[in-house]
């Protein structure tokens, strides 16, 4: 189960008018993170990538990518961002590249093999750096956590501990479907526009970016899906880039480092190996189940505290997101790398809106509707029944959904209306372990302390 499923407050932001060519480009207003936290998050995420991807140890290719990348990074708009950009090559024959918040960028050898000239490579680099400069990754993360989680998550990220750990506890990981690297078509259009600026200032013909994207789109099944799965192809993309370029000051293009031909030769020599799975992604053999969680339950308890609630849990489990509105406790391997909770307990406070108080029946119904909308595989196994948590009236609803370990999981949802808002508590377990976990979960319910 994803922590973000428990968010009731949706981001009801007004739709923005389509951007006009030449209009100013700047980061969006909604961002829970500081620029320093972007850098920290990117460094932590890059460390994960290096552990899970095959970073290429080729001195010439590394120097070549640095030469092209740093030329883009030295442009006025890139330098003004203050981000420390870096570039690494991944031994992966699929056509893709990605940049993490704060500046680390990874370029796959399949993309190096696909570009027809250095300007096209510069176009991809400029596009990816534009996502960093415009802070699209942390903007997406801020939206995904929900408005009521922003202050708590950002505050926790600013303090002790790992930002990626805090995000994983909030249901945001570094997997292939992570919101950190999944952008909207509007974000893609913005990155295209700013990328064309960076290319032009560097002396590369910005229209080569449009030509490369058109090539990938035309190649379709042979080349396009991997790149466009992370970079959705906006409508009239090539035309939009051309219109943006027409707003730029007149310049002479044609810069080349002189090393492009050797780069192509070096890449052609590389062994054709199957790619490693992306960081946090499912293994290529999709029939293999993820690592199973530790089901040993200690009888010694520790206490974790959220905002307005606390829970005691086995001391061989781990707590994520303490002192925030969202708290998860789980055993080893209970939280998967993509952020899904396969075994554990998720607690979440949805604060009351100004002038409103929590209503147990209506707020629970709204939460169930949201859960089912976010996860079509989720079903109500047993309708809500009255119960108590401590001395407080509560509703209990038993749900089922797909387990990240394979098969089915059981999610027992408890909801309690408090003076601070609706508190939801979900006990998650694979269906074949739900009965064995019942005693432990019951003990944890008895330990919960809530606001009045």
**What HEC string does 130-142 produce?**
HHHHCCHHHHHHH
276 three-class SS: coil
Beta-carbon contacts of residue 318 (< 8 Å; ≥ 6 apart): 329, 330, 331, 332
Q: Report the relative pairing of strands 104-108 and 86-90 from DSSP bridges.
A: parallel
Residue whose token pair is 């290529």: 284
Closest CA to 155 of 310, 330, 37: 37
Q: What is the pLDDT of residue 163?
A: 60
The gap from C-alpha 213 to its chain's centroid, in whole angstroms, comes to: 24
| Domain ranges, ordered by start, for the chain | 16-269, 301-447
Distance separating alpha carbons of residues 401 and 408, to the nearest angstrom: 6
Beta-carbon contacts of residue 250 (< 8 Å; ≥ 6 apart): none
Angle at 371 between CA 31 and CA 336, to 5 degrees: 70
pLDDT one digit per residue (tens) for the chain, 452 residues: 644 333 333 333 333 445 678 777 877 666 777 888 889 888 888 888 888 788 998 999 999 999 999 999 999 999 999 999 999 999 988 888 999 999 999 999 999 999 999 999 999 999 999 999 998 887 777 765 543 344 444 444 444 456 666 665 555 555 444 555 667 778 888 999 999 999 999 999 999 999 998 888 876 544 444 566 666 677 688 888 989 999 999 898 999 999 999 999 999 988 755 444 443 333 333 334 457 888 999 999 999 988 778 999 999 998 876 776 678 899 988 877 545 788 999 888 877 777 788 899 998 998 888 777 667 788 999 889 999 998 899 999 999 998 888 889 999 999 999 888 889 899 999 999 999 999 999 999 999 998 76
Q: Superfamily for 301-447?
A: Mog1/PsbP, alpha/beta/alpha sandwich (3.40.1000.10)
Write the CA distances from 93 to 96, 275, 276, integer angstroms.
Answer: 9, 7, 10
Does the global pTM surpass 0.85?
Answer: no
Note whether 101 and 40 are within 8 A (CB).
no
H/E stretch holding 301 reads strand 301-305
Give me the numbers of helices (H) and strands (E) for the chain, helices first please: 15, 12
Closest CA to 166 of 281, 36, 322, 4: 322
């Amino acid at each position: 189960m994803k922590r973000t499923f428990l968010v009731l407050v949706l981001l009801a932001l007004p739709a923005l008018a389509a951007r006009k060519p030449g209009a100013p480009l700047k980061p969006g207003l909604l961002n829970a993170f500081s620029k320093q936290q972007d850098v920290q998050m990117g460094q932590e995420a890059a460390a994960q990538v290096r552990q899970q991807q095959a970073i290429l140890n080729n001195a010439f290719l590394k120097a070549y990518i640095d030469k092209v990348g740093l030329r883009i990074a030295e442009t006025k708009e890139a330098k003004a961002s203050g981000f420390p950009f870096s570039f690494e090559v991944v031994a992966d024959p699929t056509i893709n590249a990605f940049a993490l918040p704060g500046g680390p960028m990874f370029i796959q050898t399949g993309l190096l093999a696909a570009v027809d000239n250095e300007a096209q490579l510069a176009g991809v680099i400029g596009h990816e750096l534009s996502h960093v400069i415009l802070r699209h990754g942390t903007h997406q993360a801020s939206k995904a956590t929900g408005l009521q989680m922003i202050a708590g998550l950002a505050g926790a990220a600013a303090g002790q501990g790992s930002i990626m750990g805090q995000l994983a506890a909030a249901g945001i990981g570094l997997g292939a479907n992570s919101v950190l690297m999944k952008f909207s078509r509007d974000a893609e259009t913005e990155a295209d526009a700013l990328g064309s600026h960076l290319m032009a200032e560097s002396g590369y013909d910005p229209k080569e970016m449009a030509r490369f994207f058109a090539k990938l789109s035309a190649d379709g099944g042979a080349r396009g899906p991997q790149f466009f799965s992370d970079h959705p192809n906006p409508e009239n993309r090539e035309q939009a880039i051309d219109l943006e370029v027409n707003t730029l000051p007149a310049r002479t293009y044609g810069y080349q480092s002189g090393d492009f031909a050797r780069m192509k030769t070096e890449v052609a020599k590389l062994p054709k190996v199957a790619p490693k799975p992306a960081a946090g992604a499912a293994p290529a053999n999709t029939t293999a189940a993820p690592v199973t969680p530790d089901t040993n339950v200690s009888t010694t308890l520790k206490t974790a505290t959220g905002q307005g609630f606390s829970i005691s849990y086995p001391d061989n489990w781990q707590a994520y997101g303490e002192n925030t509105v969202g708290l998860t406790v789980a055993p080893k391997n209970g939280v998967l790398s993509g952020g899904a909770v396969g075994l554990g307990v998720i607690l979440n406070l949805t604060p009351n809106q100004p002038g409103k108080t929590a209503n147990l029946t209506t707020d629970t119904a709204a939460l169930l509707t949201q859960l089912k909308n976010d996860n079509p595989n989720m079903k109500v196994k047993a309708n809500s029944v009255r119960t108590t948590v401590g001395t407080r009236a509560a509703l209990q609803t038993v749900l089922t959904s797909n387990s990240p370990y394979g098969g089915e999981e059981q999610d027992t949802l408890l909801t309690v209306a408090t003076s601070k808002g609706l508190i939801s508590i979900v006990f998650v377990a694979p269906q074949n372990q739900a009965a064995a976990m019942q005693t432990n979960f019951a003990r944890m319910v008895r330990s919960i302390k809530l606001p009045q």
